[in-house]
Structure 1
Amino acid sequence: MIKAIVFDIGGVILDAHALIEDLQKWFKPKDNLIFWEELNLKLAPLCKGEGTLHKTMTEFAKEKNIKIPDSVLKELFLIEKKHLKFNNGVIELIKSLKENYRLGIISNTIEEHAIELRKLELFEYFELVILSHEIKMSKHELDIFQHLIKEMDLKPNEIVFIDDVQKYADNASSIGIHGICYKNIDQLKIDLVNLGLNV
């Protein structure tokens, strides 16, 4: 029986498109999904508290043969107020689920983003909030999901994890957690109902 539902933040609770659009203006990727996945991989060490955002974005631009002014690189991928928009229906779903299930967050974060996220008062809905840069683990590896299981004191199959990156949902699934790749609110509700949840 499902006892807990754990959400990613960017791309699931928050609409990541505004932030991605700023990056796309400079990088002009041929495939936005592949670009987002490549960027996620590049940010992996940063999400574990290693390195700096400026250095990481400078290296990423160099790898892509994109010339971006240093003044822009220093600001690129920083969260601004315009980026903090909730995905339609997700907060309402969270409030509804909270009545019957334990709720948590696992998010690949950097310190600069976490400061802005805390201002949203979003975390009040969740029993457990795991931010990668604080515990030096990331969703690229399985240890963060083992940490989740231990902290919630539940069996893997009693937990649902929702992420907009398929690899992270798959990582959770590989150790027995029910991983769902988020596309939109309607699809998410169907997937939750299929797992037997009251939505």
Structure 2
Amino acid sequence: MTKTIIFDLGAVLIDWNPHYLYRKIFKEEAEMLYFLENICTPEWNEEQDGGRSLQEATDILVAQYPEQEENIKAFYGRWEEMLGGAVEGTVEIFKELKESGKYNIYALTNWSAETWPIAVERFDFLNWFDGVVVSGTEKDRKPFDSFYHTLLKRYDVHPSEAIFIDDNLRNVKAAEKLGIASVHFTSPEKLRKALEEKSIL
């Protein structure tokens, strides 16, 4: 029986995308894509999610790519411009689950501890969770088993009684390996259907 719902945040409940910022900076789409695939890469960003400071991360890249200094510094200097808003369809699902009173609802998110307060200030629904585990604060992150275990132990969650929702298939597979039933998020509509099929909604 499902007692706990665990949400990822980025691209599930919060529309965060570096393209929103860098489309303002680069005139050509190809230039922007090259920059985000080869310089300010997802792998580089994940190190900040895992606890590395924004300053150290920026300094590392500026030393490697001095000709891109201004664009590199924009990543965190203008980070708020990457926030597109709430994913309203998922927020509505979250609201229904919360109001049902049937579930404990937590967030397990890869997010820098330094940018996290910006999100909390902007999105009221982050206060609806019964608990939030932020990778940058824990200095650990998905898909490492230890990060999932932090949430399970802290909130006394049994894996067999939980459902995990994440847009990253790598993270979904890591949760499933630990015995947590999971939904690979692709859209609010498909999430709703998956939860209905599991008799959660």
Give the TM-score of the pair, scaled to structure 2. Answer: 0.80
Deviation, 1:44, is: 2.9
- The secondary structure found in structure 2 opposite 1:89 is helix
1:85 corresponds in structure 2 to: 85
Equivalent positions of 1:33-112 (< 5 A) are 35=37, 39-50=41-52, 52-56=53-57, 68=68, 70-77=69-76, 78-80=78-80, 83-98=83-98, 99=100, 100-112=102-114
Q: 1:21 to 1:60 in 2, by over 3 A?
A: farther
Deviation, 1:40, is: 3.4
Aligned counterparts of 2:135 and 2:104: Cα–Cα separation in 1: 20
Deviation, 1:82, is: 6.5
Uncovered stretches (5+) of structure 2, i.e. residues with no partner: none
Deviation, 1:49, is: 1.3
Deviation, 1:105, is: 0.6
Aligned counterparts of 1:59 and 1:193: Cα–Cα separation in 2: 46
Question: Could you tell me which of 176, 180, 185 is aligned with 1:182?
Answer: 185
Give the TM-score of the pair, scaled to structure 1. Answer: 0.81
1:123 aligns with 2:126: yes
1:145 corresponds in structure 2 to: 148
Q: 1:66 to 1:178 in 2, by over 3 A?
A: farther
Quote the sequence identity (%). 21
Root-mean-square deviation (Å): 2.8
Aligned counterparts of 2:159 and 2:186: Cα–Cα separation in 1: 23
Uncovered stretches (5+) of structure 1, i.e. residues with no partner: none
Deviation, 1:141, is: 0.7
Deviation, 1:89, is: 1.3
Q: Is the 8 A contact 1:15 1:86 kept in 2?
A: yes
Q: Deviations over 1:14-67 (max 9, x none)?
A: 1124x334346655337x9xx5xx9433333322212x335535656998x895
Equivalent positions of 1:149-164 (< 5 A) are 149-164=152-167
2:5 corresponds in structure 1 to: 5
- The secondary structure found in structure 2 opposite 1:188 is helix
Q: 1:103 to 1:53 in 2, by over 3 A?
A: same
- Bigger Cα Rg: 2
Aligned counterparts of 1:162 and 1:75: Cα–Cα separation in 2: 30
Deviation, 1:186, is: 0.5
Q: Is the 8 A contact 1:79 1:116 kept in 2?
A: no
Higher helix proportion, which one?
2
Q: 1:81 to 1:39 in 2, by over 3 A?
A: closer
